[in-house]
Amino acid sequence: MPHFINLDRLSLPSRPADARAQLERVLGALVDVYQAERIIVFGSCVHATATDDSDIDLLVIRDHPPGCTHPALEAMQAIGTTRPLISTDLLVRTPQQWRAEQANPFGVFQEIVDHGLPVYEG
């Protein structure tokens, strides 16, 4: 099982009751199946404004292997193997793309640069 960090700093939706365990399964699939190199949480779970209807916003960073044409779809398929009861919203970037976003953040990437919370750093 991968080692996750900062999970106790997140404000997760109150439903399902085992939201943290659900999140750990999702993160585990992203690391073990999708082979994420880094995962950063952003949005309402970081700002402590999550409601019962909130999803968990994740930036997933990994090099895309040859032949990977739909990295976000592949990441969602990895999550699907856990049959999660929580909703996730994913952004997927390569390390190079993430460095470029950090150098000139705009929109949602400004939010991630300013407030994103790393939960996995492989």
Taking the model in full, what pTM does it have?
0.95
DSSP annotation string for 20-64: HHHHHHHHHHHHHTS--SEEEEETHHHHT---TT--EEEEEE-PP
Q: Is residue 27 a part of any domain in this protein?
A: yes
CATH of residue 68:
3.30.460.10
* pLDDT tens-digit map of 28-75: 999 999 999 999 999 999 999 999 889 999 999 999 888 888 999 999
Q: Average the pLDDT over each of 49-53, 88-92, 93-97, 102-106 and give the range with the smallest value.
A: 49-53
Q: Residue 42's domain spans which residues?
A: 7-121
20 pLDDT exceeds 80?
A: yes
What is the number of residues in the chain? 122
Report the distance separating Cα 15 and Cα 2, nearest Å. Answer: 24
Q: Tell me the backbone φ, ψ of residue 33, rounded to 5 degrees.
A: -90, -50
Domains: count for the chain:
1
User: Does the residue 104 lie in any domain?
Assistant: yes
C-alpha 82, offset from chain centre = 15
Work out the pLDDT band at 7, boundaries 50, 70, 90.
very high
